[in-house]
């Protein structure tokens, strides 16, 4: 029987949640009464995650396992799962159960009504610090203001996409992936399902501040070149101010008896301008680094092991 639904679950050191995540996902997908597969993408886990998913494959023909040779990152794991999927509809959900699997049934209803993409939009975020909530809110709105692509605010990667959307996504070759932005970029008919995001079932977040900052930079640089324009504008502004500062120094030197201010003020101005220049060079460097990644043409990921893909639900 052909697969109706594929559920892609990226996992990294999630031994504490695998069993519960599998139980709830299976309970939800069984309610559809149609064929499905659960694709767990092991992103280089160092704990028992891989062994636990492998055991699930042995006892359930609906479970698939993709294991990377090392940690390639969350967005790459999602990409690998989408490429390995065979369902007419593909659902992406994290294993930590912050995104309730039960919402998938609502997404399926929207899909059956004719929507090609159904994304989950959070109306609350339980168990997260005020700092994380604030920074997330600022980031999503900043990204929206910087891009020409309509990327919905307060959404993650939790969504359902139609097979034709998945095929288009799989054809995109860029290395620095920002999946939720790419889904918006490809277009098609999209709608939302509102839900309350729960606390993590167990374990620790896999997105500490450092990774969140990188994720934000990836999102902005992938979908906007306005920071490069900002570098140009700031460059002109600094040059303009520097020119008038030079005129003021020359005037004091040539037409007054006052000595030019000492080295402290000159050094301060120099440090400020040099700092601005270095920031602008850093922004340019981010874009150049991404160009470099694209030109290397390396594969997005390396698969060490595949398990369960020779089974079909009967």
The model's pLDDT over 64-100, given as tens digits with 9 standing for 90+, comes to 999 999 988 888 899 999 999 988 999 999 888 888 9
Please report, rounded to a whole number, the percentage of residues in the chain having pLDDT higher than 90: 22
The whole-number pLDDT of residue 184 equals 82
Q: Can you give the pLDDT at residue 245?
A: 66
Q: What per-residue confidence (pLDDT) applies to 131? A: 64
Q: What's the average model confidence in pLDDT over 36-56?
A: 91
Residue 2 has a pLDDT of 72
**Least confident interval from 50-54, 149-153, 198-202, 237-241:** 198-202
The larger pLDDT score, comparing residue 159 to residue 134, is at 159
Give residue-wise pLDDT tens across range 228-247: 666 666 666 766 666 666 66
pLDDT at 41: 94
User: What single-letter DSSP state applies at residue 16?
Assistant: T
Comparison of pLDDT for 2 and 140, the residue scoring more? 2
Percentage of the chain modeled with pLDDT above 70: 65
Question: Could you say which DSSP state residue 14 is in?
Answer: -
Whole-number CA gyration radius for the chain: 25
Q: What is the pLDDT of residue 228?
A: 64
- Helices 263-296 and 226-255: crossing angle in degrees, nearest 10, is 160
Separation of alpha carbons 290 and 220, rounded Å: 12
Whether the pLDDT of residue 314 is over 70: the answer is: no
| pLDDT score recorded for residue 68 | 93
Q: What is the pLDDT of residue 44?
A: 87
Q: How far is CA 37 from CA 78, 89, 310, in A?
A: 15, 11, 12
Report residue 216's pLDDT band, with 50, 70 and 90 as the boundaries.
low
- pLDDT band at residue 6 using 50, 70 and 90 as cut-offs: very high
pLDDT at 296 over 90: no
Answer whether residue 223 shows pLDDT above 90: no
Contacts of 34 (CB under 8 A, 6+ apart): 4, 5
């Amino acid at each position: 029987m052909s697969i109706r639904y594929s559920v892609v679950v990226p996992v990294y050191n999630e031994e504490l949640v695998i069993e519960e995540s599998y139980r709830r996902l299976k309970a939800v997908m069984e309610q559809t009464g149609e064929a499905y597969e659960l694709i767990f993408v092991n992103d280089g886990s160092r704990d028992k995650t891989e062994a636990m998913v492998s055991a699930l494959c042995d006892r359930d023909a609906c479970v698939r396992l993709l294991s990377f040779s090392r940690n390639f990152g969350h967005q790459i794991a999602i990409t690998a799962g989408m490429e390995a999927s065979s369902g007419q509809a593909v659902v992406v959900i994290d294993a930590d159960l912050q995104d309730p699997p039960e919402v998938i049934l609502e997404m399926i209803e929207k899909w059956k009504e004719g929507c090609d993409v159904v994304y989950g939009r959070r109306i609350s975020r339980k168990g997260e610090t005020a700092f994380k909530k604030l920074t997330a809110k600022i980031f999503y709105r900043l990204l929206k203001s910087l891009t020409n692509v309509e990327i919905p605010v307060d959404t993650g990667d939790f969504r359902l996409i139609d097979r034709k959307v998945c095929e288009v996504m799989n054809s995109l070759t860029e290395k620095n992936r920002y999946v939720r932005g790419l889904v918006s970029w490809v277009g098609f008919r999209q709608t939302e399902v509102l839900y309350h995001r729960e606390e993590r079932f167990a374990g620790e977040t896999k997105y500490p501040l450092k990774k969140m900052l990188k994720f934000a930079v990836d999102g902005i640089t992938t979908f906007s070149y306005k920071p490069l324009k900002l570098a140009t504008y700031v460059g002109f502004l600094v040059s303009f101010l520097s020119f008038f500062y030079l005129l003021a120094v020359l005037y004091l030197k040539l037409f007054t008896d006052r000595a030019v201010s000492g080295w402290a003020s000159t050094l301060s101005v120099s440090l400020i301008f040099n700092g601005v220049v270095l920031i602008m060079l850093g922004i340019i460097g981010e874009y150049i680094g991404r160009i470099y990644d694209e030109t290397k043409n390396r594969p997005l990921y390396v698969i060490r092991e595949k398990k369960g893909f020779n089974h079909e639900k009967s």
